[in-house]
Structures are given as C-alpha cells and as structure tokens.
Structure 1
C-alpha cells in the first residue's frame, strides 16, 4: 500500500466537504444528510489536525504492516487506523466524484448518490474512525491496543466488501451502453418466470447425479439435454441455474453464465445476442473479457452503434480466450431449438468445447442439429421415468395447496394423484393443464367425471380447448393465434405486439380499407378469454404464447387432418401473409393524408395502436420472402401513394419510422433507398423492373447517402451485390462518415462486402481497377 500521510487524509476530508457543499447547492433534497455528514467530517478533520500537530506520533511514512503475530505497537495500530480511514475516505470520494461527461454531470447534480441506509452506514463508520483515532492518541496499554486492532480489522473487512460491491456497481454503470449494444437481452426476467414452477419440482434426479457428475468427472465438455416439447426442460433448467449460481458464489475459481432462448422474444433467438449476454455475465468475474469488444465498440460512432451488431466471431474469440485460462467456465443455454439460427449457435458452442480447455456447456433442446457424433458432446434424452418424480411433486403440491382441492376427501386426492401420474407420460405441460381443468370443476362428482374423461395427450388437450371456441369467435381466435405465433419470428416485432395491436389486427382483412371504432372487439381484453388460455399478457403488456408447445401443435401435420383443422397454421406462407397484413394496414384510408404536422404525430400513434407494428415489421417480412403477384401489387399500391399530398400513406409510414425527420427528406427520397436499407431484395427487383431508368445512385435518407451505401452500412451484403449488378457505384462517399462501400469493406464487421466488390471491380475499366486494388489487405 502507498505510504499514508495525515496531511493527505486532511486534504481528502476537505475535498469531500467541498463536494458535499456543491451537492447542497445543486440538489434540492437530502439537506439533513449533507449536514450530518459534514459535521462528522469536520470533527474528523479536527482530530487529524491534532494528530498532525503531534509530530512525535507520526512516523516518516506509514506503511502496511505485514505481521500480526506479535502484540502490535502504538505505531502499528496508528498505521492500521490511518489505512482504514484512507479506504473509507476513498470510497466516499468515489461516490461523490464528478461525472465524466457534461450530460452525466447534469444528471449527477439532480441525484443525491446516497440512500438513507448508505448515509447511516457512513455516519456510523465516521463515528467509529473518530473513536479509534482518539483511543490511539490516549492508549497506553497493549490490551487496549489489541482490542482496538481487532475492531479495526472488523471494519476494514466490512469496508473492503462494501467497496468491492460498489466498485462492481460502478463498472456495471460504466458498461451499460456497451452491454446494450453487445447484450440487448437479459435472461434474468425469464429465469424469474421459470423459477416459479421450479420451486415445486425437485430436479434432484438430474442435478444430484447427471449434472454434478458431468461437471466434476465428465470427459466431454458439452452436454445436450434433449426432450420433447412440454416435458418441463425449462423448469429443470431453472433449477440447474440456481444450483450453479450457488456453486459459483462459493467458488472464486468458477465462472457461470446462462441464457434462455424463447419464442416470445425474437431478440433472444439471435446468436450474437446469446453470446453477448454470456460475455456480459462472465465479465462480472473478470472484466478483461471485454477488452477487445470495448475497443471495437469505441471505434464505432455512437450514433451508428445501435445499427451495427457486434461480429459473432469477436464474441466467440472472447469466450474461447477467457475459458482457456485457469478459471473453470460453465455455460447453460435453454431451448436452443428456439434460436433464430440453432445450427450456427450449436456450432459455436461445439467450437468452445473443442478449443477452450476449462469450459463446460449445457444445452436443452427438443432436437439437435449438428451432433452428437462430435467427441466433445454428451447427450441425455429425457424419458417419462426420469420426470415422474418431478411430476409427482407437482401434483402433490397442487392437490394440497389449491383452494379447489385441498379440502377434498383423502380418497379423491389419492385417485387424482394416481390417475395423473399414470397418464402423464413424462409431460409436465399435460399435467399442468389437466390439473387446471380439474380445478375448474365445482363439485367432487364433476371432478371425478372430468378425471375419467381427461384427454390422453397434450395435443388432445389443445384440440379440446379449440373445440370450445364458438363459431362466431373462431375467426378472431385463429387470427389472434396467427399473429402471436408468427410475430415472434421477426426481431423486435414482439416488442410492439400488445393486446391493443392484436385487437386491431384481427378485425382487418386484406379487403379492408378503413379502420374505425365500431369495428373493434369489446371489451378490449376479450381475446384473452376467447383464446382459451393459448395466449397470455406479460407484465409489460406484450402478448405471447402461453407455451412453446402451442406453436408446435398449431403448425403440426396432425392438426391439418384433425377435427380442429380450421386452426391449422402454415409456417411456410406465414411471412408473406404477415407482410400483406401489415401493408394492408398501412394502406388504410386513415393514413391517406400523409405525414402529419409534428404536433400531431404522437396523437396519431396514440389513436392507431397497430401503426408502429405494421411500419417496423412489414420491411422485415419483405426481406425474407419472395414476393408474388399479390404482394407485388400491394407494394406498388403502397409506394404509389407517395404521389398524393404530403406523400400519402408512404409519407405516414416514413414519419412513423422517423418521427423527427425533415419533411423534405421524405419527399426527396425514392423508395429504393429504404428498400436497400431494409434489405428488401424482392422489392428492389420489382422497383428496377417497373422503372428501368431509375437513378440508382440518387442521394437519399437524412444525410444523402446512396442506396448501395445504406445497404452496405446495414450489412445487407446480398442487397449490395444486387445493386452493384444493377449499376450502383460503390465509390461514392457517404456525406456523414466520408466513407464509401470500399472503406467499409476494410473493417472486419463489413468483410462480407469484399466478394461483391471484387466481382464489381472485375467488370470495371483498368483505371478504376488500379485505384481500388490498392486495398491490398483484402486483395479486392
């Protein structure tokens, strides 16, 4: 430890007092707290001034004492007191230090950094530090010094832990923007939801034998836990997460991270988000895992960072490097089959298992894509016998705690237990729904009858529920299920899918031209009841499927020829239908008047709940479908509205995407620019066919970039190649960044531009080839 001088401590106290005075000027609350802290600090300063005056008590330099085996001297006790005082003052200074940026400084001036609990803790420590210093001044006996030494040790340990926690909080705050870019999805909320069920089941059959044995003695670094939909894999996974969280807390040489893929949030299905979240968690143990990623993030203009996802190769390398050290790294990922690209994420995980020496990766899935022939992977198929103990625990819990069942006669309780356990066949979901059905019965007789007539399989339960939908409501239910099932297939789409949005969506068909209040369902929440529990509304107001097995059922081959075939959904045509539905909404006469005065923009958003959803998601669907004649006609109809006053429906769409954009920008930008920015290749082909003389290099958007630069900047590499073949010029510079497409290609994240640019160069005259082949790092 650096030498401690009383003079430096006096300066620290003065600095803290000055900052408290400054807070007193800028912060309206917490005056009493500031006064109390200031009084204690002035008293501490008085004691330090007294010590400073007694030169005989101050050794030349106070160094850290290494030995505690003998009775400490007065000088040694003084050193420890001063060291502890220094640590305490440093922690106070850090909490009060000025923010780095002007914006953060303004925010800091508006917020008192201490809770009442922290203020009281600081006051207590100040009082104890003062008492120690006074005792050191007056202590003459070794016994007193020994007692004081013990007290100092206790407080020092308390301060060390307190500072460690607060330093971790500061790092998290400093990394917040980096994490929002690298790890936009947190698994915490999904884990909280999953643990509600895991408190009932035990999971001991897996954790106590398979999991712990694999972690300690397993020869393979990767473990696949496979089970059909509805077997309770996520519930079991949540129990494993709790177990490893506890193990990591007790073992400083163990780092743990986990993630839940879920169809209710498309962002949780993207491989870069999965790996980014894992790294964010692992950085809590060792921040060095972020070094290369932070350098990459800092090199990107902050106005563009959110548009440029981190390169998955960078994330993979960071995890492999981290897991090749001395610390054991354990990674858990749930429902990898619900990932946007399960094959690639499985390949990444297998690469970790092969290249990193100290890593263990556990994955739950309903099916495997790559494996398990690889020597680095084990696999366990969940059987009905394995789950029987957990299912029995769940049944017992419900029978003894549900209001409907806990007062039943023992004979009926026993009958329920035996019947459900016998017929469950390892399906946790079937057991849950069967129990829910029994709890709706109002008499013991009705319960016995329902028990004998329970559907034998999960799909039979779902089919029976759909049979209960009345003929008048079937259309609305099917439309609602369609929207909830396939909205989740596009990133961020689910963030707009509220009950209000679905209520508008289900009343609009492809022939609809106007939306008015008389068309709306009443009451607004009626769809939750009509859908028989198939959909649910979360705490944030977004609508999701109640369970992933519902989509499997609705899109299965079985339902196509079943008695509820009306509700069958076809995933192969879903994206095209969603695109048409969104465009139909945007083409409504309600938006024919074009972009609105800026004062009325948010009034429009409030009135039409589905506008945001349709505006942001139709391009995503258009980017992944090959449009046919129906879609082509609808897109042309929509784009033609830009010739109406205020750009018509097209202008309303642009203003929805960019509420603050200049109206002149909307009027001046050709749809080709936006189609390129969103990667809508089929739409681009249509526009080029309709208008062969189109100015493909026309400036567009907010800063006047070309369509090919917009496509390249958004990493739509196939779109860049399409535009280059159509005559786009990649050498034109973007006015904002001063880059052209060639400049982008020199950066690793845009390496996908190199092949189309190389192909383009091969068709150019020698002078252009000579100029741009100087980009030698990539031999364009």
Structure 2
C-alpha cells in the first residue's frame, strides 16, 4: 500500500493548478511556480539555490539516513525491481521518498499528504471523504480572518472590549492566541487524512503525513531544537520503513487477488509492533517539534497582527495627513494675517538693555502671575510703546514655553494697514493663535457652512468659538494688544467694539485670563481702562531714551567726531523735558547726514523741539519740484487699503527708479521693509501730522476725503487707460493696475454719497462698466488673485456689468445700465446665483435691490427664496426688509 502510494505521483497539471488555487484562497503560499517540478515541500527552500548551496553545507536527507540504518533485508525489499501492473513509472531511487517526472528539475523529497491526496482519482477522493478537511480548513480560515477583522476594528477605535468585571482585555494577546490555535488546527486538519480502507494504514498514513510535515516545516528553523528533532524523526522513519518493508514482502509472496483479503491479517502483528514503536518515539518527536511549531506559529500570529498594525498605522498617517490638510485649510480661512511681522520689526528696533526695567516692575510681576487682571500701559506718541510691547511679548512667550498648558496671543493695531485696524480681523487672528491641535467641531461646522457659499460669518460667531476655546484651555491665557488708539474711534468695527471685547473676555474667563494693552491716553480708552491696573510709561521710557542716545553717540557713526563734539551732542539731545524715542532717533539720523563739522554744529544748533517741528523741517527742506510728488506719495501711503511696495508707489508718480521714492520723501517720513520692499509711513505720528480736516495753508497737509478722492480718481484713470485686451503677462507687469483693479472701489466707498457730487469721478466710474475692453481687463485683473483660470475666460463667462455694479452698491451706475437694457436676472455663462438681484441682496444694498426689482416682471420662486435667505443673513434694516418683502 505504501509503495503504491509512492508510485502514483505523476500529478496532472490540472490537479496542481486546482491545488494552488485552493492554497491561494486559504492564504497559503503556492507550492511551486514550476508546475512540473518535484512536489516535496510547501515551503520554498532558499538554501536550494546555487548561490546558497555554494555557501551552506548540504542538508542531510533523513529518509536516506534512515534507509542506511535499516537492515539489508529491508532495503532489498523496498527497492525490488519486479514489474507490476499497478505501477506506471520507475521505482523510487535510494534517498528519495518519491519523484515526479520532470525534464529539468532536480528531484526533491515529496510530502506524503500531497502525494497521497493529490494522486487519488475523483472516485477515490470521494469514497475516502477527503472533501471534509477542506471544509474544516475553510472554517478555520474564517476564524483567522474574523479575528484579523475584529483586531483591525479594535485598532481603528471602532471596537471596545471589557471584561464582565469592567476590566480591560488585552485585545492583541487574545487575537494572537486565537490565530495561533487556528493555525495549529489548520495544519493538522489539512495534513492528516485517511489513506487506507483497512483502517490500519489510516494510522500509518497519518504518521507519514504528520512527520513529513514535521520534516518539511520544522527542520532548519534556526532554533536550538533542530538537531534533536532530526534525531527523533530518524527513529520514527526507521519504524515506518520497517513496516513498509513488511508490506512489500507480503506483496511479493501473494498474488493480486489475495492481497486485499489477506492484508489485514498479514499486517496485524507488524502493525501492532510498529504502533508501539512509534508511540514510544512520539514523545521525543513531539517535544522537539512542538518547540519549533510554537515558535513558528507565534511568528505567524505576530506577523499577521504586525501587518494589521502596520496597515492601520499607515491608514492613521493618511487620515492624519488628510485631516492636517483640512485643518490647514480651515486655519487659513480663519486668518491669514501676518500678526508676527510687526513683532519682528519692533524687536529689530529695540536698543540693547532697554525695556528690562518694566519686566522688573511689581505691577507687571503681579499681573503675570495673577489671572483675571487687565494691565493698561499708556504713553505719549513716539515714546516707544510698541518696542516695549515687543519686549513684553517675548517675555510672555518664554514664560509660556516653560509650561505647555499656558497659551498666549497678541495683535498690533497699525495705522499703516487698514486690515489690522479691524476688530473682526483681530478676533479671527487671536482665535487661530489659541486654537488647540485638535480643532473643535464648532469651527469646522462654521467653516463648512460658510466656505462652500463664500459668505463671511458674523463677528459674534468667532467670539463665541473663542469663548469655547478659552473655556477648554487647561492653563492660563495671555492676551497682549498694542496701540489700541490706532484702531479707528468710529464705526461698528472700531474702538468701542474693541474695548467691549476686552472687558467681556476678562469677565467670562476670570480664572485664567491675563490681558495687557498699550495706547496713548485717549479719552475713550482712559474712561474704560483706567479703573484696572495702569502704568504710566513716561518715566521708565525716558530712561530708555537716555540709554539709547548714549549708545548711539558712543558706538554709532557719531563716535567719529571728537570728544568735545560728542559731549555737546549728549547734552543737547538729553536736555529735553519730554524724551521720546521717535524724536531722539530722528535727531541722530539728522546729525549723521552732516558731512562737515560746521554742518554738524549747525544741525545741532537747529534741533527741532518737537516731532511736529521735525516733520515740518524735513518737508520744508524739499525742493519745489519735489513737493507735489512727495505730497502724492504721502497721500497714497496714508490711505492705501493695503501696504504698497516700492514699484507700485513709483508707478503712481511715474518714477523710473523705485528707490527715488525714499530719497524724495526722506527716511524721516517713510520707511522700507528690507524683506519685501514694502514702503510705509515711518510712524503713526507722521500720518497725524499730515492729515487735517481743515487745511491751514500748508502744502503738505490734506484731509481724509481729499486723500481718498485723489486715489479713487487716479485708480479709475489707470483702469480706463487699458483699452486693449490684456494678457496675464502684460497685466502682471503693471503693479499699479493690479492694486487699482482690486481697491478702487474701497476708496470710492470711503467718500460715501459724496462721490455722486464729483461729476468727473462718477462719469469715469460709469465708463468702467460700459466700455467692453476696459471692463474685461478690470474683471480679469481683479479676480486674478483667486482664479488663475480667469485669464482663459471669455467676456460672456464673466460676471455681468450690472451684477458687478449691484454688488458694489453703485446706484447711479445701476440706473445707467438698466436704462441701457441690462437684464437683472442675467447670470454669467457658467455662473450660478450671480445675477444682479442676488448680488445686491448678499451685500445688503437694499436701495439697489429695490431698483432692480422694479425692473423685473416675474421672479422665479427659487431666486426669491434664495434672496430672502441672504437678506435675513445680512441682518439688514427691518424697515427696508419689510419694504423689499412688499415688493416681492
């Protein structure tokens, strides 16, 4: 029987492919990639490669060793050459269990399970019930897969497991144990099957299969048990071969008709002896095989779980990356303000050893360690408040870094940047600075609600979320605000709103909030903040001014002058009752311009007593031909909607060389950022000196209205000059065009209804909407900041002139366009919801909306519903809203 099984080894390719398919479904490695190779091992033996064989000693064939240990009589019986009808191929060679025919593959040891199970025909397999192990294997494989899925679910946070007593379960160890036992059962079921209907050979076949598995799967696992395991296997194989020899001898003595009848009687006694021998050796085999088996199954279980851990970790990284991208988008939507730029600039202007006196004040130390306090620092213009504020911010930053639970945020109000003067922008920036690593759902929901439709949330929405963030903060929070007086005194988003915000923050978060603010002692600010802790900076900053002046005289360019000159300089600069950083800095720069000692003494003798006198002196020294140009530059720098770079300012006055802007206006009045060439007025006090509601005959002064009207006229003129269709490249080469396209209406809006009385300006605005190429160039230049593809769109794809005019509330222009037959319901070619009605409603221009409704006979229900939703969202005047509803 044993030899018959060994003889029938020539598997068909079809049978092998079917077996490989089953192995793939069970998650097992294919037995071989070459369908005609010897079927011996399930595992690929790397040591069988030529390279490995050259480096490693040959592996002993235990069957061959066992054969050598058998007696000569047994070996002769096993290798007899008698021809039999049942055998279709050559007998096995010495040293091989069985061989599969192949033209070019070296014979290898066969696996008895694969030989016996794979060679049986369909009827024999069905009769012996070999389908059942496959079904059991499927069930075991299902246990493994189910365990893997549950473990993955646990890793991803979707599965929570507790014991009945409430304790936690080590899910990984439990999963590993389940997989471990499933793998063991899988091995046994798939490898141990019945071979012989007599029942005796069933045991033998099981032994052969099991030990073939032990041989193939547990040898050379690189563990200490390998040698002992091989010895134990050899002993078992000896007993097996002895039994096989007995069967062989019995076959040689009997004819085929008698074998089936006598085989049971013939092998009873040898089988009993064999079974006894095997059972005696079994403990030794089990001892060493189990060691290797347990190690291997643990590695398999660990490998499975490690694979899941790795996959889950990769998924977490992907999810984290996705979340971080969305979080960054939300944070950028929340605020893109460069709040740290003024801090860095102020730190750059700080003289060594200045400001330290304040950090040692008892008032400051108490504020720093006691939550629920407001500390208000006040001082005159130019005394150095912003530089001192930068020193405080740096100190608080270091203080917070020492305790991760502490947080801080700051904001500089700047006269030279309109965007920094808005409380709305300040709240959004503070919220971003204090935002925890995991964004709260409230800000995500607000972003989802408004980003999709392009609307802006109300200020109170952000204030409410800020309250939530502060409430959830584990530690204390420091808020530092510089130059409250540079926030406009009027307007809904002005100083009154700011002061109310400060007091509400303190009231709501007494247990953790520290607030410090600087400003000039303006009456409205003093009335609200003087009841809190306040510090007059006059004395302390006066000492800092002296430190600064002495350092400049001793180490700056002034040190080149003689001792007597330096001594006189110190006396002259420090002999001022009210010392100001700004004033002292300007005088030192003025003295440094002297090229001779006589000029130096003249400058020293004519030092202006005040900042105003210093600015007047600088302007009066300009040549007559430069005065008008300088005035135009100063107007643009005083009222520009955003900071301008040198090229844009140079284009305003047609300068060929941008550097001439600074030389014309002098560094006393303007300053240029080295990082981005942004040019600004040198100090808030410069703007205060230049801007007067009532001009007193000084050529360099102007009113707010005059300044915005001048810029609006120049901006619209710039747009009207572009009568030929521009490309993206040609437009980018005109920096003034880009600014005017985006901000001309800002300056027009500052005039209120006054612009309608400016006949020339109104006519220019109307031309902007009625001249096709001009409008086309303006629209594409305007949207180029946000839509790069705008340069590829046609005129019909753009927003209609009537929609643009309605969106900006230009009532006179809307009337003109309606008179020319413009359709209020027209949208752009691909636009949705961008008709004139909806644009006017969205911006709250109810007078324009009423004008448009008077020209529409019938409004679609969807448009009406959308429009009403927009009007309610804008919180428009109730009386006007009622009037619009009546029209609908």
- TM-score, with normalisation over the residues of structure 1? 0.66
Trace 1:570-589 onto structure 2 (pairs within 5 A).
570-588=703-721
The alpha-carbon distance between structure 1 residues 543 and 733, as it changes in their structure 2 partners (threshold 3 A), is farther
Unmatched 5+ stretches in structure 2: 1-167, 177-221, 224-290, 300-305, 489-493, 784-789
Contact 1:224 1:364 in 2 (8 A): yes
- Using the alignment, how far apart are the partners of 1:554 and 1:393 within structure 2? 30
- Using the alignment, how far apart are the partners of 1:606 and 1:175 within structure 2? 32
Q: Which moved more, 1:656-665 or 1:753-762?
A: 753-762
Match of 2:782 in 1: 657
- Using the alignment, how far apart are the partners of 2:175 and 2:549 within structure 1? 66
Trace 1:179-218 onto structure 2 (pairs within 5 A).
179-209=331-361, 212-216=364-368
Encode CA deviations 1:63-109: one digit per residue, 9 max, x unaligned: xxxxxxxxxxxxxxxxxxxxxx99x98999589647866xxxxxxxx
Contact 2:373 2:514 in 1 (8 A): yes
Match of 1:670 in 2: 801
Contact 1:706 1:734 in 2 (8 A): no
The alpha-carbon distance between structure 1 residues 411 and 693, as it changes in their structure 2 partners (threshold 3 A), is closer
Contact 2:717 2:764 in 1 (8 A): no
Encode CA deviations 1:215-254: one digit per residue, 9 max, x unaligned: 1577963233222321111101000100110111113342
Contact 2:650 2:658 in 1 (8 A): yes
- Using the alignment, how far apart are the partners of 2:549 and 2:383 within structure 1? 15
Match of 1:708 in 2: 837
Q: Which residue of the other structure, out of 662, 671, 676, is the alignment partner of 1:528?
A: 662
Q: Which residue of the other structure, out of 627, 646, 668, is the alignment partner of 2:754?
A: 627
- Using the alignment, how far apart are the partners of 2:611 and 2:858 within structure 1? 59
- Using the alignment, how far apart are the partners of 2:520 and 2:345 within structure 1? 20
Q: Which residue of the other structure, out of 672, 678, 698, is the alignment partner of 1:537?
A: 672
Q: Secondary structure at the match of 2:570?
A: helix
Contact 2:728 2:791 in 1 (8 A): no
- Using the alignment, how far apart are the partners of 1:408 and 1:322 within structure 2? 58
Match of 1:503 in 2: 650
The alpha-carbon distance between structure 1 residues 712 and 730, as it changes in their structure 2 partners (threshold 3 A), is farther
How far did residue 462 of structure 1 move? 0.9
- Using the alignment, how far apart are the partners of 1:8 and 1:396 within structure 2? 76
- Using the alignment, how far apart are the partners of 1:329 and 1:446 within structure 2? 54
- Pairs aligned (count): 586
2:465 aligned with 1:331: no
How far did residue 475 of structure 1 move? 1.2
Contact 1:261 1:335 in 2 (8 A): yes
Match of 2:441 in 1: 291
- Using the alignment, how far apart are the partners of 1:93 and 1:419 within structure 2? 71
Match of 1:259 in 2: 411
Match of 1:617 in 2: 743
- Using the alignment, how far apart are the partners of 1:294 and 1:523 within structure 2? 48
2:680 aligned with 1:550: no
How far did residue 436 of structure 1 move? 1.2
Q: Which residue of the other structure, out of 744, 755, 765, is the alignment partner of 2:878?
A: 755
Q: Which moved more, 1:539-548 or 1:215-224?
A: 215-224
Encode CA deviations 1:620-646: one digit per residue, 9 max, x unaligned: 2222322345634433344346655xx
Q: Secondary structure at the match of 1:360?
A: strand
How far did residue 709 of structure 1 move? 1.3
- Using the alignment, how far apart are the partners of 1:318 and 1:374 within structure 2? 25
Contact 1:639 1:650 in 2 (8 A): no
How far did residue 444 of structure 1 move? 4.8
Contact 2:351 2:548 in 1 (8 A): no
Encode CA deviations 1:13-59: one digit per residue, 9 max, x unaligned: xxxxxxxxxxxxxxxxxxxxxxxxxxxxxxxxx99xxxx97968999
- Using the alignment, how far apart are the partners of 1:200 and 1:731 within structure 2? 72
Encode CA deviations 1:445-468: one digit per residue, 9 max, x unaligned: 543442232111111111111112
Contact 2:850 2:884 in 1 (8 A): no
Match of 2:592 in 1: 439
Match of 2:244 in 1: none
The alpha-carbon distance between structure 1 residues 720 and 55, as it changes in their structure 2 partners (threshold 3 A), is farther
How far did residue 549 of structure 1 move? 1.5
Q: Secondary structure at the match of 1:309?
A: coil
2:512 aligned with 1:362: no
Match of 2:501 in 1: 348
How far did residue 431 of structure 1 move? 0.7
Contact 2:769 2:801 in 1 (8 A): no
Q: CA RMSD in A?
A: 4.1
- Using the alignment, how far apart are the partners of 1:551 and 1:349 within structure 2? 27
Q: Which residue of the other structure, out of 720, 728, 739, is the alignment partner of 2:846?
A: 720
Q: Which moved more, 1:376-385 or 1:655-664?
A: 376-385
Trace 1:49-448 onto structure 2 (pairs within 5 A).
97=318, 174-209=326-361, 212-216=364-368, 221-284=373-436, 287=438, 290-302=440-452, 304-305=453-454, 308-324=455-471, 327-339=475-487, 341-357=494-510, 358-368=512-522, 370-374=524-528, 378=532, 380=534, 382-402=536-556, 404-423=557-576, 425-444=578-597, 446-448=599-601
- Using the alignment, how far apart are the partners of 1:175 and 1:98 within structure 2? 12
- TM-score, with normalisation over the residues of structure 2? 0.59
Match of 1:608 in 2: 734
Q: Secondary structure at the match of 1:185?
A: coil
- Using the alignment, how far apart are the partners of 1:184 and 1:8 within structure 2? 48
Encode CA deviations 1:543-575: one digit per residue, 9 max, x unaligned: 211222211111147x9447xx11012113322
Match of 1:461 in 2: 614
How far did residue 321 of structure 1 move? 3.4
Contact 1:733 1:740 in 2 (8 A): no
How far did residue 677 of structure 1 move? 1.7
Q: Secondary structure at the match of 1:620?
A: helix
How far did residue 319 of structure 1 move? 2.5
Contact 1:688 1:694 in 2 (8 A): no
Match of 2:181 in 1: none
Unmatched 5+ stretches in structure 1: 10-45, 61-84, 102-169, 507-519, 769-780
- Using the alignment, how far apart are the partners of 2:394 and 2:169 within structure 1? 41
- Using the alignment, how far apart are the partners of 1:561 and 1:253 within structure 2? 56
The alpha-carbon distance between structure 1 residues 359 and 610, as it changes in their structure 2 partners (threshold 3 A), is same
- Using the alignment, how far apart are the partners of 2:169 and 2:422 within structure 1? 48
